[in-house]
């Protein structure tokens, strides 16, 4: 309960997360690394917008483009 929000996300490392971006896209992938700016490194990532889905493999998501992140 006294964890910081980012600590809770840190515990999701190795698990699949869904990231909502400010440009409306959604990224899903396995969370491998994160930093205090909320920059994320995902593996086996897919990006989707409307009904289009694109496989990207490894991806660095810039923290300031994130609206929310949720373990799937």
Q: Which is nearer to a copy of itself, 51 or 64 (CB)?
A: 64
Least distance to a copy of itself from the beta carbon of 53, Å?
15
Choosing from 16, 28, 30, 35, the residue that interacts with a copy of itself (CB under 8 A) is: 35
DSSP per-residue codes, 8-71: HHHTTTTSEEEEEETTS-EEEEEEEEE-TT--EEEEEEEEEETTEEEEEEEEEEPGGGEEEEEE
The residue ranges that bind a copy of itself (CB under 8 A) are 1-9, 13-14, 18, 20-25, 27, 32-35, 38-41, 45, 47, 56-71
């Amino acid at each position: 309960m006294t964890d910081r929000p980012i600590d809770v996300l840190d515990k999701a490392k190795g698990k699949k997360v869904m990231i909502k971006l400010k440009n409306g896209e959604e990224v899903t992938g396995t969370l491998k690394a994160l930093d205090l700016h909320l920059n994320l490194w995902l593996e086996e990532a897919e990006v989707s917008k409307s009904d289009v889905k694109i496989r990207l493999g490894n991806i660095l998501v810039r923290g300031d483009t994130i609206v929310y992140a949720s373990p799937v």
